Structure 1
């Protein structure tokens, strides 16, 4: 099964619609979308994501705990690099439920489990960078450029990912008239989780997105990947415009 985060996956799109309703204050509509995502989930990866969002919106502590435990169980069943970054967040949410219920022994246990997975990443790649820039093997990608998605932003970091689906999205939405390109890159220094996505919408860093102040060296280029349709690109551009407006 392909468990890499795919922004065009039906369940992920339903959860994102739910979060849009949530941002607009339409909580009941959000819960309806999260429930639909759960009902349509077909594997542990989709169930783990849908259960997490359903759990967040439960009014009852016991229901919140139940859904977070389901989410964790599905994530542990997968046991893959693509979901390990979510463990800390899931353990933390479960710990908070136990603390709220007055079960301090279990709360302590789950806080400790959360801490044991915090800031732990040993991602060996391969890593990708999506763009429309015409570059070649051996070139260095450096920080300090203008954001692909917001021309008002100067980038203090260079961004990359271990998920080719995310690199494909970046390439499709990048500014410029050139063709979409995905380069295989190698970090030349330390890197960290991209805080713009980590624990913002989904638990952990499911997109395996990173950033570095040090250059990325281009070591190859991907020639074939699943490209976004014109309609899908339009949907994402609307989402980006909405985010920028906020």
Structure 2
């Protein structure tokens, strides 16, 4: 079953080169930085922008164009838990994502929207709820 044809994006603060593989087993870009059991991608630029803006770390916010190298599934952290269906077209996989390009010009969310999102994530954190729980 094909979930989406893409193109796919990955938002982060990590500096990567074309051809690099984003793999599981490294510290997550989110929450407390637990070892990531999945890598995430989205088929919407807006969701990738959120990923870049919310990633932990001091690096520049980056959005990469990625290609999945194996099967992927809907991201259950968003699908039906927060949004009915998958309007953010967000996916996860245990297979590497191959970086095939970078979006160099994009517009981030307003400072107010970003503050609101971070405040909401902090409230969840205070309740012991991680944004990515697997």
TM norm structure 1 = 0.49
Q: Deviations over 1:173-219 (max 9, x none)?
A: 11111111000000011111101111112211111100010100000
Residue 155 of structure 1 corresponds to 36
Give secondary structure in 1 for the equivalent of 2:27. Answer: coil
Distance between the aligned counterparts of 1:142 and 1:230, measured in 2? 31
**Root-mean-square deviation over aligned CA pairs:** 1.3
Query: Is 1:205–2:86 an aligned residue pair?
Result: yes
Which of 190, 197, 204 pairs up with 2:71?
190
Q: CA deviation at 1:161?
A: 0.4
8 A Cα contact 1:149 1:240, kept in partner: no
Bigger proportion of residues as helix: 1
Deviation by residue 1:57-76 (Cα, 9 ceiling, x = unmatched)? xxxxxxxxxxxxxxxxxxxx
Structure 1 gaps, min length 5:
1-119
Radius of gyration: which is bigger?
A: 1
More strand by share: 2
Separation in structure 1 between the aligned mates of residue 81 and residue 53 of structure 2, nearest angstrom: 22
- Are 1:165 and 2:67 counterparts? no
Question: 4+ residue runs of structure 1 moved beyond 3 angstroms?
Answer: none
Asked if the contact 2:3–2:73 (Cα under 8 Å) also holds between the matched residues in 1, the reply is no
CA distance in structure 1 between the aligned counterparts of 2:19 and 2:4, rounded to whole angstroms: 22
Which residue of the partner structure matches residue 125 of structure 2?
244
Alpha-carbon offset, residue 225 of structure 1: 1.6
Name the CA shift for 1:152/1:171 in 2 (closer, same or farther; >3 Å): closer
For normalisation by structure 2, the TM-score amounts to: 0.88
Q: CA deviation at 1:223?
A: 1.3
Which among 82, 104, 110 is matched to residue 229 of structure 1?
A: 110
Unaligned runs of 5+ in 2: 128-134
* Contact 2:18–2:101 under 8 Å retained in 1: yes
